[in-house]
Structure 1
Amino acid sequence: MTSIKNTATLLVTCPDQKGIVAAIADFLLQHDANILHADQHQDAENNLFLMRVEWDLTGSKINADNFAEHFAGIASRFKMEWQLKLAQKRPRLAIMVSQYDHCLADLLHRHQGGELACDIAMIISNHLDTARLAEFYGIPFHHIVVTKENKAEAEAKQFALFDAAEVDLIVLARYMQILSPDFVKRYPQRIINIHHSFLPAFIGARPYHRAFERGVKLIGATSHYVTEVLDEGPIIEQDIDRISHRDQVEDLIQKGRDLERIVLSRAVRWHIENRILPYANKTVIFD
């Protein structure tokens, strides 16, 4: 198990202007905070400044309890939207899956190996196929059948489980159900999905089959935050693989599954490490 760092991470979004970096750096210096990492991005089209800064809390005069009070002046001056994240508070994840288990298995393996600094609170599935995998890794498994007739009831059960376990992030590891608008509204920017195509190409179902029919030379996978519009949330990560006329649908599916595993695990890790700032239906991924 990887040791947990005693650090804080500040994520900032505000109108772009001079002096923001200097103000934040000086603020942390005045409170004896040792900056470990800092990264920033300016979006000229939207006149936005986005920043991630991480510092060591050891010996610092500022902590989660008093940060908002002390930081209020700078936040107001620069009209900032900000979030403070503590490494000591491990995010709690719920993974939702249907029958395909490759993404789930990859996440569980990486978590066991210490690559994902989080706690996996549960696995929820509308099928029983992954129950033994959950049992092997010692993760609570909940089987909730979803049909057109009971969708609202099924989601109510899921909400109750999330609330009871104080879930911070929901990962759709090939969960083949469309979430209701109520579900999405409850967890804004807290649901990550893996889509088995290089979005915005081949939105929706059976993308590998449609890619084969179209004769594409590249296939891809996309991880994104879930919004009410299907497969159109802010993209977090993508990757591709080259194919040829010799590849059949089964070959595309096999190659695509490798991409799906990698792309989803990267997105989950970056979210856990507080490296993502969504804006204007895009994301900044900080170093």
Structure 2
Amino acid sequence: MATSFHEFDLIQWIRAQCPNSKANLIGIGDDTAILQPPLNCELLFATDMLMEGTHFTFPSATPERAGRKALAVNLSDIAAMAGRPHSALISLALPKSKGPEFAKAVMQGIIDLANEFQVQLIGGDTNSWDGPLVINVAIIGIAPESKSIKRSGAMPGDWIFVTGELGGSLPAHHLTFTPRINEALILNQTVSLNSMIDLSDGLTSDLQHILRESNVGAILDATTIPISNRLSSDDSNQVRLKRALSDGEDFELLFTLSPEDGKQLLNQNPLSINLTQIGEISSRLTAILQHPDGSQTTLEDSGWKHEL
């Protein structure tokens, strides 16, 4: 007769993989965790829910990669604020048909990435049902007081930069991307960032968040958009550009800063990945795409949106 395996067995297994950190007074094992944040720091909170069939599918994803992505997208939100990740709570709705090894594999993907970025797993919830896998992560980050970077600080004349390359994420990159935690910290230590966001829904969509919160506009140069080699070279330049603008799930950083600081980054990139200036913030309250022939068109918000 097979030995039964229930939620408390899973919790005990997780607890054995995640010993308490000195940064927390109590982690897994009580009704709530108790944190001890560093002095003179502000706390950053974010949460994301990922659902099988929307954010990942099996078998193109593995349970480990699904779990990894669930934590990675939350780490990307902390990176967008130039914070350091501190702790995370994980809630799982597990398919009854998959069994305990599947549950452990999902958690192993989360645990491995948590260890890589020194994130303490401090609790959460587990349930099982007849539906697909659902993973919710609530993450806590820290930043020195008044040093976190918001969407609302962009100013006319700012240069717009992006890390890495854009487009073609859906075949695999959206499951394996590296959250830009370290890059955001280096940038924030090197120059004065005015605004920043991570590119989860696509450049055209996420740029709009900065523009609305800062009450500004933008002009992007189509010739400078860093198009990923994940996109097929058989596609036309127009198709490749459109996908770089709107595919989403790149999880790169989009940020603005003064021209003086922008020149510093162009002269000496402090990162191990590409940095590209793609445009400029304007006082005109619209987003414009400037084409190679000098013509301009309104930049349509063509990124990903969940339909309700």
TM-score (norm 2): 0.23
Which one scores higher on RCO, CA 8 angstroms, separation ≥ 6?
Answer: 2
TM-score (norm 1): 0.24
